[in-house]
């Protein structure tokens, strides 16, 4: 139960009591002037009649002198008169004198109200203060079971020159019926508010952060604020419980909403338009812009029909700046993604045309020279020439396929670095041995210069070689006979301690590129027209692969080119300095194939053609070959064979029933220790570095990639068999 302290204007009863008491205090003066007893008695009777009249309004009236601390009763009903003396000092207002007349839950508020020590402060600037409470004094009457609602009031009578309160009138009066009517109205209003809030559950369930919510109650022709931002309330002057909906909303629109968006509100102003829309839609919303403090904000106005029958509806506003910003950012990303996808699609479409030409060219050579080979079996010179050309076309086709696969693998972020200690002279030797013969055969001058201080560094040899092969292949392809290609490797300081930077500069005097194409050099599938016009084969993937590999190795690449003058490519790669020298592996020594005679290989290969090729190559060097069509058969054959029957297993990876990885794990877990430790070498089209790592993880001893490089096969078999 709440209790309200309220300022109250002079009511009829209060004013009458005030002036009657004033008349009594002037009695002596009147008697002195009249000097006639009958006249005095007449005046006194008149005053007493007025006191009697106000006593019918007030339960009690006391005159209190704050200077002397004295009070006296002017009038009281019988029960008050019996409970409180008709005169005395402030001590007579002790709780025990009247607590039996007040409901316990109201007692603290009443005691604070009759505290004379704070009365002067509480009545500053006020003529009257009041308190409503429940009294038990007149309880028991029908409809008054809980008590009688009573109002106590202090009325200013006199202040001194300094404005301090000196004399007051204290009154109590019954307000029970009025209070019950007020409570009934409040209860109905509370129910209306509760209904509106409940009917706004759709809004609340969406957890929308509405900063202002208004409810329009159609029956009263007014609106009420359910939840209103203080700033907006002050701005619109919403200092009353009910206000005119049309007036306040139009003031909001004309003052805050930017002019271009005001027409959006014309659909919902006046109220009749809003009701027409909400009767059909039940819910209506729109986005508009408002301007506060020079800043434009995006807002949402949401209107929901709360009660169709009663024609009550709710209007809510919320700031959607952040949502709008995120939506716009998302749209920009979608637009950018669309443009990128469109460009990528164009590039790939262009690539398909180029690839069709690039793949068909070596395939045409292979098919054509194969047909010529069949017709010229008896001419050894032509036969060897055709075989060499078929081999050359094979290498081009394999290069195209490898580049496409490598680009796909890089784009899927499945490439990892595998750094080992590398000697710079080996790095240069690899470049020399790979390209010098090609350059000289084409009539190109080829210079290689190295100037490094730290000879041994950590490097991913495979990826570094791939970068240089792609760059030098382009220099070779796009430089005409009589031109020059040079490679310069220099060591420069690195910012990170313990590291050095290798700067590799490749310069050619080839056909060069247009300045407008250089920025697109690293775009996938891009090739300048002049390269295709010049009948130079390629996929347009070499340099994109180079760029991605250089980025993977935390390096940088820069290209400068002029059409008709040549191209310069500068690659900067950081390398961690190695503390010990790398052991040099001697390569190039002639192999003695007689050591393979009598060795038995178990070949696990599901493809008949691949099995036939491998069998022919291996048997030609003295191996005995037995074939298993899948991994499970391979394991069974090894289990059933006598000890030391097989010397080595060549294992394909992609096989039915049991793949090569699974078969290798099963073999390593065999109970027979000799069989469990048999050498296993992967010979598979799974040719990437990650495939090699997986093979070793499953217990294999070597890894050979298809198509088979015959020299690499036999070199690996020598190392694995340790013969």
| DSSP label at residue 545 | H
Q: How far apart are CA 506 and CA 489, in angstroms?
A: 9
**CA trace torsion 438, 442, 447, 452 (10° rounding):** -30
Rounded to whole angstroms, what are the CA distances from 488 to 475, 501, 599? 14, 13, 47
The predicted structure's pLDDT at residue 198: 55
Rounded to whole angstroms, what are the CA distances from 639 to 3, 636, 643, 669, 680? 97, 5, 9, 12, 15
Q: How far apart are CA 386 and CA 648, in angstroms?
A: 35
Strand spans (E) along 4-117: 5-7, 60-65, 70-76, 87-89
Residue with tokens 């039915």: 656
The predicted structure's pLDDT at residue 581: 55
Q: How far apart are CA 79 and CA 66, in angstroms?
A: 25
Query: Could you tell me which residues are beta bridge partners of residue 577?
Result: 457
Phi, psi for residue 541 in degrees, rounded to 5: -110, -10
The predicted structure's pLDDT at residue 357: 53
DSSP letters along 130-180, please? Answer: EEEEEESTTTTSTT-TT-EEEEEEEEEEEE-TT--EEEEEEEEEE-HHHHH
The predicted structure's pLDDT at residue 436: 80
Q: In 369-378, which positions are buried (b, 16+ CB within 10 angstroms) versus exposed (e)?
A: beebbeeeee
The predicted structure's pLDDT at residue 353: 59
Strand spans (E) along 452-498: 456-459, 484-493
Q: How far apart are CA 178 and CA 183, in angstroms?
A: 9
Q: Which residues contact 13 (CB under 8 A, 6 or more apart)?
A: 54, 57, 58, 171, 173
Secondary structure class of 103 (helix, strand, coil): coil
Collect the ranges in the chain with pLDDT lower than 70. 1-56, 79, 81-83, 92-98, 138-141, 188-242, 310, 347-361, 396, 399-400, 402-416, 427, 430, 433, 524-541, 580-591, 687, 723
Q: Which residues contact 622 (CB under 8 A, 6 or more apart)?
A: 593, 594, 596, 597, 598, 599
Centroid of chain to Cα 200:
30
Contact of 317 with 300, CB cutoff 8 Å: yes
The predicted structure's pLDDT at residue 38: 59
């Amino acid at each position: 139960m709440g209790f309200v302290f309220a300022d109250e204007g002079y009511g009829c009863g209060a004013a009458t009591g005030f002036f009657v008491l004033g008349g009594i205090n002037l009695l002596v003066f009147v008697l002195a002037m009249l000097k006639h007893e009958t006249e005095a008695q007449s005046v006194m009777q008149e005053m007493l009649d007025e006191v009697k009249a106000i006593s019918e309004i007030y339960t009690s009236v006391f005159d209190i002198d704050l200077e002397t601390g004295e009070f006296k009763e002017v009038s009281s009903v019988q029960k008050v008169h019996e409970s409180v003396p008709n005169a005395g000092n402030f001590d007579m207002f002790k709780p025990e004198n009247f607590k039996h007349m007040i409901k316990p839950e109201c007692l603290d508020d009443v005691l604070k109200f009759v505290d004379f020590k704070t009365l002067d402060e509480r009545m500053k600037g006020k003529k009257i203060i009041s308190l409503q409470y429940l009294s038990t004094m007149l309880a028991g009457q029908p409809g008054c079971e809980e008590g009688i609602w009573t109002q106590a009031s202090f009325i200013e009578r006199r202040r001194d020159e300094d404005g301090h309160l000196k004399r007051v009138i204290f009154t109590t009066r019954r307000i029970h019926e009025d209070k019950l009517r007020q409570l009934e109205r409040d209860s109905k209003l509370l129910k209306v508010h509760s209904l509106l809030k409940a009917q706004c559950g759709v809004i609340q369930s969406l957890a929308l952060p509405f900063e202002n919510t208004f409810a329009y109650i159609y029956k009263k022709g007014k609106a009420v604020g359910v939840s209103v931002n203080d700033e907006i309330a002050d701005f619109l002057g919403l200092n009353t419980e009910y206000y005119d909906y049309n007036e306040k909303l139009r003031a909001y629109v004309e003052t805050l909403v930017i002019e271009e968006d005001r027409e959006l509100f014309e659909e919902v102003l006046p109220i009749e338009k809003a009701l027409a829309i909400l009767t059909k839609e039940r819910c209506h919303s729109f986005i508009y812009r408002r301007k506060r403090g020079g800043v434009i904000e995006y807002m949402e106005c949401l209107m929901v029909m709360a009660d169709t029958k009663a024609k009550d509806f709710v209007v809510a506003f919320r700031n959607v700046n952040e949502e709008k910003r995120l939506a716009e950012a998302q749209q920009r990303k979608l637009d950018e993604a669309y443009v990128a996808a469109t460009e990528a699609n164009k590039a790939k479409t262009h690539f398909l045309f180029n690839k069709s030409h690039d793949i068909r060219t070596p395939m045409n050579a292979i098919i054509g020279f194969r047909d010529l080979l069949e017709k010229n079996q008896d001419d050894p010179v032509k036969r060897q020439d055709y075989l060499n050309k078929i081999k050359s076309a094979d290498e081009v086709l394999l290069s195209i396929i490898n580049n496409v696969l490598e680009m796909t693998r890089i784009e899927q972020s499945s490439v990892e670095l595998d750094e080992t200690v590398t000697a710079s002279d080996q790095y240069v030797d690899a470049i020399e041995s790979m390209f010098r013969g090609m350059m000289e055969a084409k009539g190109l001058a080829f210079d290689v210069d190295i100037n490094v201080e730290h000879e041994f560094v950590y490097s991913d040899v495979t990826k570094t070689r791939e970068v240089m092969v792609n760059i030098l292949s382009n220099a070779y392809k796009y430089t005409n006979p009589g031109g020059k290609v040079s490679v310069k490797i220099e060591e420069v300081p690195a910012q990170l301690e313990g590291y050095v930077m290798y700067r590799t500069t490749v310069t050619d005097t080839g056909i060069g590129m247009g300045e407008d194409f250089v920025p697109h050099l690293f775009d996938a599938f891009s090739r300048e027209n002049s390269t295709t016009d010049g009948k130079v084969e390629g996929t347009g993937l070499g340099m994109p692969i180079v760029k991605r590999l250089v980025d993977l190795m935390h390096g940088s690449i820069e290209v400068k080119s002029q059409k008709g003058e040549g191209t310069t490519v500068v690659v900067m790669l950081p390398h961690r300095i190695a503390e010990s020298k790398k052991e040099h592996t001697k390569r190039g020594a002639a192999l003695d194939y007689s050591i393979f005679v009598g060795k038995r290989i178990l070949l696990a290969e599901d493809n008949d053609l691949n099995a036939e090729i491998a069998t022919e190559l291996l048997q030609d060097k003295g191996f005995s070959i037995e074939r298993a069509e899948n991994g499970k058969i391979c394991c069974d054959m090894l289990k059933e064979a006598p000890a030391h029957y097989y010397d080595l297993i060549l294992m394909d990876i992609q096989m039915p029933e049991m793949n090569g990885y699974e078969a290798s794990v099963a073999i390593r877990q065999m109970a027979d220790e000799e069989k469990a430790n048999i050498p296993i070498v992967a010979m598979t089209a799974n040719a990437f570095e990650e495939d090699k790592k997986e093979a070793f993880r499953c217990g294999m001893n070597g890894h050979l990639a298809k198509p088979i490089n015959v020299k690499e096969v036999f070199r690996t078999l020598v190392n694995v068999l340790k013969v």
